[in-house]
Amino acid sequence: MIAFSPWLVAIILGLVEGITEFLPVSSTGHLIVVSAMLDFTGERADTFSVVIQIGAIFAVIWHYRATLYEMVTGFFTKLEERRLAGHLLLAFSPAVVLGLLLHDWIKAVLFSPVVVASALIVGGVVILLLEWRRPAVTAPTIETMSWRQALMIGLAQCLAMVPGTSRSAATILGGYAVGLSRPAATAFSFLLAIPTILGAATLDLVKSGDLLGLDDLAFFALGTAVAFISALMVIRGFLRFVERHTFVVFAWYRIAFGGFLFGLFALGIL
């Protein structure tokens, strides 16, 4: 096994996290494969994956900083800002309840290459079916979405607790399925990621924070910075992409990647 420099490991995994976190392709699946290839596994690697997620989510905060500022400052004076905040809170709530109840069980039972590969393939098929059906758009923007649509997206997000499903896929496709346009579903998914990922990361760090030491600071900081920069680029590019294209390319990618994972598992690599 080739010994990789810790700095190279931090850069590569930061890139993988930043590129895949907000695309409907499962960052978990990609991190599992790349971490195994880099021979970076175990509890410290799991904690590193949690920390670099924070870098990716700060990219969302930075991109939507004006929207978030308006939502906070206009909460008591503007109906549309209260509606957006309320929709995000409503969509976030199901994941909070189930996450607290099932967090440990999911990590102990469902984190396996077979589950991840299966979820990737099933998600790809679901995308193809949705694009074939082409749901009618009733909310072209996030400002026009309803409370019911926000709740349905929140329930769909709970599916992402199955590793390999992809939080982005669950929320974007959930929004698309209940009537949001592709751009609106994508934007709401990105905003919903802020409380969801920060909450999940905080819970993980509380449980595994004792694995971190001062010696890890530079290593974790590098991975987090790389994840932030790469995620910011992906967010901006993906928002432009969904204005003109369907999600079909991601469906076929998921199916192919899921098959690839099954192959690695069969060979004993994962």
The mean per-residue pLDDT over the stretch 230-244 comes to 95
The larger pLDDT score, comparing residue 52 to residue 201, is at: 52
pLDDT of residue 76: 87
Written as one letter, the residue type at 118 is S
Confidence band of 266 (pLDDT split at 50, 70, 90): confident
Q: Is the pLDDT of residue 24 over 90?
A: yes
Nearest to 167 by CA among 191, 143, 144: 191
**Is 1 inside any structural domain?**
no
| Angstrom distance (rounded) from CA 246 to CA 242 | 7
Least confident of 20-24, 28-32, 42-46, 90-94: 42-46
The mean per-residue pLDDT over the stretch 63-71 comes to 94
The mean per-residue pLDDT over the stretch 45-50 comes to 86
Written as one letter, the residue type at 113 is P
pLDDT of residue 124: 96
**Strand ranges, E, within 33-131:** none
pLDDT of residue 112: 79
pLDDT of residue 2: 64
pLDDT of residue 109: 67
Q: Which two tokens stand for residue 243?
A: 């204005």
The mean per-residue pLDDT over the stretch 241-254 comes to 95
Confidence band of 249 (pLDDT split at 50, 70, 90): very high
Q: pLDDT tens-digit profile of 179-217?
A: 999 999 999 999 999 998 888 888 777 776 666 666 778
For the whole prediction, is pTM greater than 0.75? yes
pLDDT of residue 210: 66
Q: pLDDT tens-digit profile of 135-172?
A: 999 999 999 999 999 999 999 999 988 888 999 999 99
The mean per-residue pLDDT over the stretch 118-125 comes to 95
Written as one letter, the residue type at 169 is A
Domain range for 127 is: 6-266
Q: Which residues contact 172 (CB under 8 A, 6 or more apart)?
A: 24, 182, 185, 186, 189, 247
Counted domains in the chain: 1
